[in-house]
Every structure is written in structure tokens, then in C-alpha cells.
């Protein structure tokens, strides 16, 4: 009598090692595996294995397609899939990140229920937003203190901006005031990184990677931010929390909680690396993305996001 072969145990989302970004490729299922293939230009197709059970996020850029069989298997393995524009920026990025989330009637509910209970209380929601800002400052400080490139250039977090944000966030009466304080913090960080690299930088979204160092940095920031959005979406989806219950960003934007959670790691890892790579004209888009993914993996960024969101859900009243 043949026994049913047990399914292999899945790696926890927070511990998965792989993030993939593909362009001009087809993703399909072949011989019980997920593979992607590209054309070499010589009528020869090359297949590459995509280890879906150890993959957290798959971004599909220009010229890509995916079969229904591959999507079914990716969903079974709980892989988050995003359709992107060139360089890794999801389409309709001005509105919200576009991700296909695996669907299951057995999604966890405890964290979503805990989140909603707190979210419905306006005062409590403000406290959670303040906790998010405080953790963002702490993580950024730790990450910058370990960043050899920043240390070499003697770039530090502006102490005055840290103190000001902490003081203002402790006293603000609503999320709008907290957002204004957060915007000042962001400008101070940009100014510090810009001065340290000898640049006159102004943040502009949607810039191409070609041209000046400032334009390259803006482009790398866009690409890096959407990788951070992807990790935030993985964490929220894994915990079963809807993107539609943000703490800081616009309450009318369905993906706003993704932006809130992604901000935790953007200042710490995305911004410094975008400046370092953008100021070096030898670094190309794909090299920057690969280095950022490696940096986030070395920092256990996804594991951190899972843990911190859980802490917010369980934060004592």
C-alpha cells in the first residue's frame, strides 16, 4: 500500500533567505519545481531554479510573465508576488504597492484582531505610532553606527534632529503633528547624507538612474524603497494583518500600513546604501539591488519586522 508522501516543512517567512527580482523572464512550473527562463538570443532557453519554499518575495519587472500553475505553487508556499516597473518599482507606485498575496481560509487571525482592537481607539493608535517612530530612531542609530562607509565619511545621525523628534513625538496631540515631526527628521537625514557625500541633494521620486549622482541616488532610493515595501508586506501578510489599518500614513490609502512598517528599515539601510552606490558612478542598478538585498538579509530585517509588529500587537495598554 502506497503511503501519501508528506509535504516538506516550510521555512518560516521571517527566516527565508531569498528575494528575487526578474526582468524579461518567464516563471513557470516544471517537473514539480518553480523555474524561470530567459532567452539567450541563440534559440536556446536557459532554466534557473527558484526555491519557492525558501523565498519570501518575488518581484516581476518588465517583460515578465507567470503561469497559473506557478502562481498556485507560489501561493501554496506563501510567497508574496509583486508586478513591477523597470528597476523594481511596482506599477501604480504613487497610489500603493501592488502585491498578489497568497490566499487561504486558514490565514492567522489573532494578530489582525489585536491590531484592530487597538486601531479603533484613536489615543491608542497614536501611542502605537509613537512607538513605531521611537523604534525607527533606535534601529537607524544602531545600523548607522555599524555602517563602515558612513563611518569612513564621518557621517552621523544629527543629534539635534534625534532629540527634537523624540521630544516632539512625546508631546504631539495627533498623527498629523507626528507626521510633520517625522518629515523634519527625514529632511535632516537627507541633509546629513548629502553633506557627507559632498552633494547638493533634493529628494525627487521617479527619477531615472542615468545622469548626475543626485539623479542616481533618487533612482536607487525608489528601487530600494520598494524592496522595503515588499518585506513589510511579507511581514504583514504572514501575520494576517490588513494593509488598510495604518498608524501614520493616509487613512484612505489601502496600502498605507505597508509604508508605515517599511519606514522602520528605510532610514537604517536603504537611504545610506542609495547614497553610497549612487555617488559611485560604477555601480549599476542590479548591483545596488543585490547589495541591498544582501544587506537586509545580513541584518535579519525581515525577522525584525515580524518581531516588532508582533510587539505592537501585544503592547500592554
Is pLDDT above 60 for 184? yes
Note the pLDDT tens digit of each residue in 45-78. 678 899 988 998 888 888 888 998 998 888 888 8
Note the pLDDT tens digit of each residue in 148-175. 999 999 999 988 888 888 888 888 888 8
Note the pLDDT tens digit of each residue in 232-282. 988 998 898 988 899 988 765 667 899 999 999 999 999 999 999 999 988
Question: What is the predicted pLDDT for the residue at 115?
Answer: 94
Stronger pLDDT, 85 or 30, i.e. the higher one: 30
Q: What percent of the chain has pLDDT over 70?
A: 84
| SS (HEC) of the chain | CCCCCCCCCCCCHHHCCEEEEECCCEEEEECCEEEEEEECCCCCEEEEECCHHHEEEEEECCCCEECHHHHHHHHHCCCEEEEECHHHCECCCCCCCCEECCCCCCCCCHHHHHHHHHHCCHHHHHHHHHHHHHHHHHHHHHHHHCCHHHHHCCCCCCHHHHHHHHHHHHHCCCHHHHHHHHHHHHHHHHHHHHHHCCCCCCCCCCCCCCCCHHHHHHHHHHHHHHHHHHHHHHHHHHHCCCCCCCCCCCCCCCCHHHHHHHHHHHHHHHHHHHHHHHCCCCCCHHHHHHHHHHHHHHCCHHHHHHHHHHHHHHCCC
Question: What is the predicted pLDDT for the residue at 95?
Answer: 33
Question: What is the predicted pLDDT for the residue at 153?
Answer: 94
Amino acid at each position: 500500500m502506497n503511503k501519501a508522501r508528506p509535504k516538506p516543512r516550510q521555512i518560516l517567512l521571517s527566516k527565508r533567505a531569498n528575494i528575487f527580482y526578474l526582468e524579461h523572464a518567464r516563471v513557470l512550473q516544471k517537473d514539480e519545481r518553480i523555474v524561470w527562463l530567459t532567452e539567450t538570443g541563440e534559440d536556446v532557453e536557459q532554466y534557473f531554479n527558484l526555491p519557492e519554499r525558501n523565498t519570501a518575495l518575488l518581484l516581476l519587472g518588465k517583460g515578465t510573465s507567470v503561469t497559473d500553475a506557478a502562481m498556485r505553487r507560489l501561493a501554496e508556499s506563501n510567497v508574496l508576488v509583486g508586478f513591477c516597473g523597470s528597476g523594481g518599482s511596482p506599477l501604480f507606485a504613487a497610489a500603493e504597492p501592488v502585491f498578489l498575496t497568497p490566499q487561504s481560509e486558514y490565514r492567522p487571525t489573532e494578530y489582525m484582531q489585536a491590531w484592530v482592537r487597538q486601531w479603533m481607539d484613536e489615543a491608542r493608535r497614536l501611542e502605537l505610532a509613537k512607538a513605531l517612530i521611537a523604534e525607527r530612531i533606535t534601529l537607524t542609530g544602531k545600523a548607522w553606527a555599524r555602517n563602515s562607509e558612513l563611518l569612513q565619511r564621518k557621517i552621523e545621525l544629527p543629534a539635534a534632529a534625534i532629540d527634537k523628534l523624540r521630544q516632539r513625538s512625546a508631546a504631539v496631540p495627533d498623527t498629523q503633528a507626528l507626521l510633520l515631526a517625522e518629515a523634519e527628521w527625514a529632511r535632516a537625514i537627507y541633509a546629513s547624507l548629502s553633506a557627507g557625500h559632498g552633494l547638493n541633494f533634493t529628494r525627487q521620486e521617479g527619477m531615472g538612474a542615468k545622469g548626475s549622482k543626485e539623479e542616481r541616488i533618487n533612482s536607487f532610493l525608489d528601487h530600494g524603497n520598494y524592496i522595503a515595501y515588499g518585506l513589510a508586506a511579507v511581514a504583514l501578510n504572514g501575520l494576517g494583518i490588513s494593509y488598510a489599518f495604518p498608524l501614520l500614513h493616509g487613512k484612505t490609502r489601502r496600502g498605507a500600513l505597508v509604508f508605515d512598517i517599511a519606514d522602520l528599515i528605510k532610514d537604517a539601510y536603504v537611504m545610506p546604501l542609495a547614497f553610497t552606490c549612487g555617488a559611485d558612478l560604477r555601480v549599476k542598478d542590479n548591483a545596488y539591488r543585490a547589495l541591498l538585498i544582501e544587506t537586509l538579509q545580513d541584518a535579519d530585517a525581515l525577522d525584525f519586522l515580524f518581531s516588532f509588529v508582533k510587539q505592537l500587537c501585544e503592547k500592554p495598554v
